Chain A
Amino acid sequence: MLHLIVFLAFGAICVAGAVNLLVQRHPINSALSLVAVMGSLAVEYLLLGAEFVAAVQVIVYAGAIMVLFVFVIMLLNAGEEERTKGSQVAMLFGIPGMLIGSVLIGWVLLERSGSQAVAVGAMPGPPKVIGWLLFHDFLLPFEVTSILVLIAIMGAVVLASHPDADQGKKEG
Chain B
Amino acid sequence: MVPISYYLILSGILFACGVTGFLIKRNIISIFMSIELMLNGVNLSFVAFAAQWHALSGQVFVFFVMVVAAAEAAVGLAIIISVYRTRETLNVDRVDLLKL
Contact = CB atoms under 8 A, between A and B. Distances in A.
Interface of A: 3-4, 7, 11, 14-15, 18-19, 21-22, 27, 30-31, 34, 37-38, 41, 44-45, 47-50, 52-53, 56-57, 60-61, 64-65, 68-69, 72-73, 75-76, 78, 81-84, 86-87, 90-91, 93-95, 98-99, 101-102, 105-106, 109-110, 113, 115-119, 122-123, 125, 129-130, 133-134, 137-138, 141, 145, 148-149, 151-153, 155-160, 163
Q: Which 7 A-B pairs have the closest CB atoms?
A: A94-B23, A152-B71, A159-B78, A117-B1, A18-B17, A102-B16, A160-B78
B12 to A, nearest CB: 4
Contacts of B32: 69
Contact of B60 (A4, A138, A159): A138
B13 A22 contact: no
Nearest to A71: B77
A105 B12 CA distance: 7
14 contacts: A7-B2, A27-B27, A31-B33, A44-B10, A47-B2, A53-B59, A65-B36, A72-B77, A75-B81, A81-B27, A113-B3, A130-B60, A137-B60, A159-B82
Interface residues of B, number: 68
Interface of B: 1-10, 12-14, 16-21, 23-27, 29-30, 32-34, 36-37, 40, 43-44, 47-48, 50-52, 54, 56-57, 59-60, 62-64, 66-75, 77-82, 84-85, 90-91, 93
